[in-house]
C-alpha cells in the first residue's frame, strides 16, 4: 500500500488556520487592534469600507517595526511576545500565537507600512494570498499602517457566508467597543464609509463608558471597588431601575482583556437578587486584575474564554463586592437590626439643641358659665367667644308634642336618575356567550363544546397581522404629541434605530430628530400610550440585537413580531364584554388564527364528549 499522508503546503495551512482566527471582518479588526496596543500605541484609528469586506485599515503611532521584523511578522508562529513555553503562563500582552498576520494575509490583499522610531525611512510590504508581492522602502510616520483589502477573495464560499453590511458592521462595533473599554488611556476613532462613528479621547474608565454609551449612562453607574490577595476588582454596575431586556451592556475584563464567563455572570446576577424585574439584566463594566500565572487564556482560538485556578473564591468575592457597593450607595436596602433609621437626626438639625415648646393656657376658662361671668378669653390669641346666645335655646321646641298626622305627599324626596344597569337584564345575560377566566383566558361556547382562548396570544396575532399590513401599505395612523418625547440611547442602539426608522414610521411613529445619543419623537401609534413608548422601543431593540435580521422582509417580520408581543394585552388584565367580543371576532378574521407569530397555540377546544368522560 502506498503512503497517503503528506505535509500540507504553507498557503493551504495558512488558509486552514485563518478559519480559526478570521471568522468575519470583526475578527480581523480585533487581531490588528491588539497588535497596535502591544506596540504601545497612544492613538489608534480604524477605517472600514463596506463593513470591512472591501477595506480594513488600522493606523497607530506605536513603536513600529524594522525592515526585517516587518517581513518576519507574516510568517507562521512568528511572535515577539513569547520565547519559551513557560511564558504562556505569565502573559501580559494581547496577541501571542503568531498566526494573526499570516492567517489574514492568506485570505486577503494586505499592505503594511511601518517605521521604527530610530529609523529614517520605513518599510512597505504587499502580500496577496500568502505571497509577498513587493517589499520596498517608503516614507511613513512612526508607527504602523496596515490595510486589509478584499477579504476572502480567494475563498468565495467563506465570503458568501458573510451577512449583510448592517450585521457585519454591528459585529465590528462590538469588537471595537470591547477593545476601547479595556484601554481608556488610548485614543480611538472609528470611521465607516467616510462617516465617523466614534471619536474617543484618552480618559478614565468612567468617561470612556460615557463616551461610548451616551451621556446619560453616567448617572446610571454605581462604582465597585475591592482588593484581595486573589483579585483586584474595579469598575461599575448599573442601577437596578435601569436594567435592560438584553445583555448588551455586560462586560468582563481580566488583565485588560475582554472575556465571556457565564460563571462570573451568574455571580453578578445573584448579587442583584430581589432587585430586578423578571427577564431583566443588569449592566456592568467590571475590570479584574489577577496574577497571570493563575489563569490560562490559551483555551480558545479567539481568546475570549479563560480558565481560573480558583473560580469559587472569585465568585464569592465578586458577588459580595457588588452587594456591598449597592448597599453603600443606598441602591439596595441594608439589614441592620441594631439601627432604626427613623431615629436618625436629619443633617440640618444635627448641631442644633432641642427647644421646649411654649404653650399658654387660660386655666380659668369654662364654656358652661354665663357670658357675663366668663373670662374674656385667652390673653395671647386663644379662643374668644363673642355675641353668643344661651346654648339651651338650641333644644327649644323639641319637647312639644306634634299633633295630627303627617301628610306624606308634602314630603319631597331626592330624585334618583338611573344612568345604567349594573348587571343588565336576564335576557342580556343569557345572550353573553363569552367569559373571562382568571383574567387570562377567554371562554366561549360552541355547538360542540367550549372554546378556550389565550387572550395575550390572540391579541398578539391580531396586532401582528395589522402591523404587517400597515408596514406594507403604509396605512398606519399616528397621534401627535403635545410635547415631543426625548429618549436616550447608546450609539449602537441609535444605529439600529436608523436602520428600522422607515419601518417604524409606517407603523405610526414620527421621529423629529435622531442625534448621536438622543431621539426625539413627535408622534406615536394610536394603539400605545406615551408612557409605554420607551419600554416598547427598548424591547424592540433587544429583539433586533438578538435576531440580527439580514434582509428587508426579515426586518419587517421581526419588527411586527416585537411590536405585537410588547403591545398585546397582558395576562391579568380585566376585559369587559365588548373587549372580549372584539378579540374573539378579530382573531377569527385573521389569516392564521390558530398560531401566534412565534408558532405557539392560541386556542383549544373542549368537546361535550370530553366533558362527559370526565363525569363518567
Q: Which domains, and CATH codes, for the chain? A: 10-200 (3.30.565.10), 206-328 (3.30.230.10), 441-604 (3.30.1370.100)
Distances from the Cα of 207 to the Cα of 181, 236, 516, angstroms: 10, 12, 16
| Grid cell digits, residue 580 | 372580549
Q: Are strands 187-192 and 43-49 parallel, antiparallel or unpaired?
A: parallel
DSSP string, 248-262: TTEEEEETTEEE--H
Nearest 5°: phi and psi at 284? -155, 145
Looking up cell 432641642 gives 354
Task: Residue count of the chain, please give it.
Answer: 616
Which secondary-structure segment (H or E) carries 137? strand 131-138
Going from the first residue of the chain to its last (616 residues), give the mean pLDDT of each consecutive group of 10, the final group possibly shorter: 73 65 87 89 94 93 87 76 59 64 88 88 90 90 92 85 84 91 94 90 93 85 91 92 81 90 91 83 92 76 77 91 85 58 60 76 77 49 51 60 59 56 49 82 88 93 87 76 86 82 84 86 85 83 69 72 87 89 91 90 90 85
Q: Considering only CA atoms, which of 223, 283, 225 is closest in space to residue 250? A: 283
pLDDT at 247: 77
The CB density around residue 567, as the number of other CB atoms within 10 Å, is: 18
- Cell reading at 253: 475584563
- Say what the pTM is: 0.69
Separation of alpha carbons 1 and 220, rounded Å: 71
- At 429 the pLDDT is 47
Strand ranges in 139-194 using DSSP code E only, listed in sequence order? 143-149, 187-192
pLDDT of residue 424: 46
Torsion of the alpha carbons at 488, 491, 493 and 496, rounded to the nearest 10: 130
Amino acid at each position: 500500500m502506498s503512503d497517503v499522508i503528506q505535509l500540507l503546503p504553507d498557503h493551504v495551512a495558512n488558509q486552514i488556520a485563518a478559519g480559526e482566527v478570521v471568522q468575519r471582518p470583526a475578527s480581523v479588526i480585533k487581531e490588528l487592534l491588539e497588535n497596535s496596543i502591544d506596540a504601545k500605541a497612544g492613538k489608534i484609528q480604524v477605517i472600514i469600507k463596506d463593513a470591512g469586506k472591501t477595506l480594513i485599515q488600522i493606523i497607530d503611532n506605536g513603536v513600529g517595526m524594522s525592515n526585517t521584523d516587518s517581513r518576519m511578522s507574516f510568517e507562521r508562529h512568528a511572535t515577539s511576545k513569547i520565547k519559551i513555553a513557560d511564558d504562556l503562563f505569565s502573559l501580559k500582552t494581547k496577541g501571542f500565537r503568531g498566526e494573526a498576520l499570516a492567517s489574514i494575509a492568506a485570505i486577503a490583499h494586505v499592505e503594511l507600512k511601518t517605521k521604527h522610531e530610530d529609523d529614517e525611512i520605513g518599510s512597505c510590504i504587499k502580500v496577496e494570498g500568502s505571497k509577498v508581492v513587493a517589499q520596498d522602502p517608503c516614507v511613513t510616520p512612526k508607527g504602523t499602517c496596515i490595510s486589509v483589502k478584499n477579504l476572502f477573495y480567494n475563498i468565495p464560499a467563506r465570503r458568501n457566508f458573510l451577512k449583510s453590511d448592517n450585521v457585519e458592521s454591528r459585529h465590528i462595533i462590538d469588537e471595537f467597543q470591547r477593545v476601547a473599554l479595556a484601554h481608556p488611556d488610548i485614543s480611538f476613532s472609528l470611521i465607516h464609509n467616510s462617516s465617523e462613528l466614534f471619536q474617543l479621547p484618552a480618559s478614565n474608565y468612567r468617561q470612556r463608558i460615557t463616551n461610548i454609551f451616551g451621556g446619560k449612562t453616567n448617572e446610571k453607574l454605581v462604582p465597585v471597588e475591592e482588593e484581595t490577595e486573589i483579585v483586584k476588582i474595579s469598575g461599575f454596575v448599573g442601577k437596578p431601575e435601569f436594567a435592560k431586556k438584553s445583555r448588551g451592556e455586560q462586560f468582563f475584563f481580566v488583565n485588560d482583556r475582554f472575556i465571556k464567563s457565564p460563571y462570573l455572570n451568574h455571580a453578578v446576577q445573584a448579587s442583584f437578587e430581589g432587585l430586578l424585574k423578571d427577564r431583566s439584566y443588569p449592566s456592568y463594566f467590571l475590570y479584574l486584575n489577577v496574577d497571570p500565572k493563575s489563569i490560562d487564556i490559551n483555551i480558545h482560538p479567539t481568546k475570549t474564554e479563560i480558565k481560573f485556578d480558583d473560580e469559587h473564591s472569585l465568585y464569592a468575592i465578586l458577588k459580595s463586592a457588588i452587594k456591598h457597593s449597592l448597599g453603600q450607595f443606598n441602591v439596595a436596602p441594608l439589614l441592620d437590626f441594631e439601627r432604626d433609621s427613623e431615629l436618625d437626626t436629619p443633617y440640618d438639625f444635627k448641631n442644633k439643641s432641642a427647644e421646649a415648646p411654649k404653650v399658654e393656657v387660660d386655666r380659668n376658662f369654662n364654656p358652661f358659665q354665663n357670658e357675663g361671668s366668663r373670662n374674656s378669653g385667652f390673653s395671647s390669641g386663644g379662643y374668644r367667644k363673642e355675641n353668643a346666645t344661651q346654648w339651651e335655646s338650641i333644644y327649644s321646641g323639641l319637647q312639644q308634642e306634634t299633633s295630627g298626622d303627617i301628610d306624606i305627599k308634602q314630603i319631597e324626596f331626592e330624585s334618583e336618575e338611573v344612568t345604567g344597569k349594573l348587571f343588565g337584564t336576564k335576557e342580556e345575560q343569557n345572550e353573553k356567550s363569552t367569559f373571562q377566566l382568571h383574567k387570562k383566558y377567554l371562554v366561549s361556547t360552541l355547538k360542540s363544546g367550549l372554546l378556550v382562548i389565550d387572550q395575550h396570544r390572540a391579541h398578539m396575532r391580531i396586532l401582528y397581522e395589522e402591523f404587517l399590513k400597515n408596514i406594507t401599505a403604509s396605512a398606519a395612523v399616528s397621534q401627535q404629541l403635545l410635547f415631543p418625547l426625548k429618549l436616550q440611547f447608546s450609539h449602537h442602539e441609535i444605529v439600529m434605530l436608523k436602520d428600522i426608522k422607515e419601518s417604524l414610521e409606517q407603523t405610526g411613529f414620527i421621529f423629529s430628530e435622531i442625534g448621536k445619543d438622543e431621539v426625539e419623537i413627535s408622534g406615536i401609534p394610536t394603539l400605545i400610550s406615551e408612557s409605554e413608548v420607551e419600554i416598547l422601543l427598548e424591547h424592540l431593540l433587544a429583539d433586533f440585537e438578538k435576531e440580527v435580521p439580514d434582509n428587508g422582509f426579515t426586518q419587517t417580520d421581526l419588527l411586527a413580531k416585537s411590536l405585537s408581543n410588547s403591545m398585546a394585552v397582558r395576562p391579568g388584565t380585566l376585559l369587559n364584554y365588548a373587549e372580549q367580543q372584539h378579540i374573539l371576532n378579530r382573531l377569527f378574521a385573521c389569516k392564521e388564527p390558530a398560531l401566534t407569530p412565534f408558532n405557539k397555540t392560541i386556542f383549544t377546544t373542549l368537546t361535550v364528549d370530553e366533558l362527559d368522560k370526565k363525569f363518567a
